[in-house]
Structure 1
Amino acid sequence: MALATAGPTLAPNSTVQTFADEADRRRLTNAAVKAVLRVIDAWGASNAEGAALLGVSESTWDRMKAGRWDGSLSQDQLTRASALIGVFKGLHLLFADAMADRWPGLANRGPIFDRLTPIRAMIEGGIPRMIETRQYIDALRGGL
């Protein structure tokens, strides 16, 4: 009788991406910032909402938008970016029309939103709610 493993097996020299390594964060930051700026623009969210979702100050957000920011995102900020990009992608797979970009700004009765917009729920709930939102969209796509 074979035993099931707890998770995927990694190749001998591979590692799980944790965003903990500074070199990885520097390498990923530019693409992550560009993607999040596009997501927030597509959703029609405000600068204050974009800054809150990414976990940066509004002045840093403004510098990012203007292309005048050369820092690197923290582990938490890259996790936020990953969740937002995943929500965006999932919505575009779920909806074949403009609803994909309208949905985050609409009040929602889903169990994790409590009649808030998904944007507001993710701002208030931080990384855990952002990940839950991504999982919720993935579950909807899977027909659960």
Structure 2
Amino acid sequence: MAKASIVRARDRRNLTGPALRTFFRIADAWGLREQEQMRLLGLESRSTFQSWKRGAVAAIPRDALERISYVMGIYKGLRILLPRTADEWVRKPNKAPIFGGRSALERMTSGNVADLYVVRQYVDAQRGWR
């Protein structure tokens, strides 16, 4: 059991740098404000956020990696679906029932990882992935 925990910790350390760099590139493409980025990452502390942004962290929590994974999937799916307007789509009001007239970004920044999952599932369904 202890060995499995060590492997997972090592995997998180190996994934942290690439995951954060990718997340911040997506955040730039989407024009996200600092508070929106923090909500997507599940962070409340601005100093922790700033450390992550500088890359001054050995390993981020599993929850944050999961959140980044959903953001990456949403980003990739939107690039396939809407090559020209993918980055703008996240802020546009959406009539789909899961958004209730709000934007995908509003749903994603609710603070709940489940909302990232729902948006990811929606984008995948639009692509024909189930």
Separation (CA, whole Å) in 1 of partners of 2:110 and 2:65? 18
Q: Structure 1's 68 and 31: CA in aligned 2 closer, same or farther, altered over 3 A?
A: closer
List per-residue Cα deviations over 1:102-134 (Å, max 9, x = no partner).
011112121211222211111216111101111
Assess if the C-alpha contact under 8 Å between 1:60 and 1:69 holds in 2.
no
The residue type equivalent to 2:59 in the other structure is S
* Structure 2: tracts of 5 or more residues without a match: 1-6
Separation (CA, whole Å) in 2 of partners of 1:100 and 1:70? 30
Q: CA RMSD in A?
A: 1.9
The normalised TM-score by structure 1 is 0.78
Q: Structure 1's 26 and 125: CA in aligned 2 closer, same or farther, altered over 3 A?
A: same
Assess if the C-alpha contact under 8 Å between 2:70 and 2:120 holds in 1.
yes
Structure whose residues are more often helix by fraction: 2
Separation (CA, whole Å) in 1 of partners of 2:98 and 2:121? 11
Q: Which has the larger radius of gyration?
A: 1
Alignment size in residue pairs: 123
Q: What's the counterpart of residue 12 of structure 1?
A: none
List per-residue Cα deviations over 1:21-55 (Å, max 9, x = no partner).
11111110001000110111100110110011011
Separation (CA, whole Å) in 2 of partners of 1:100 and 1:25? 29
The normalised TM-score by structure 2 is 0.86
Q: What's the counterpart of residue 127 of structure 1?
A: 113
The correspondence of residues 16-95 of structure 1 with structure 2, limited to 5 A, is 21-56=8-43, 57-65=45-53, 67-95=54-82
List per-residue Cα deviations over 1:66-116 (Å, max 9, x = no partner).
x2522311111100000000000000000121x100011112121211222
1:137 matched to 2:123? The reply is yes
Secondary structure in 2 matching 1:120: helix
Percent identical residues: 36
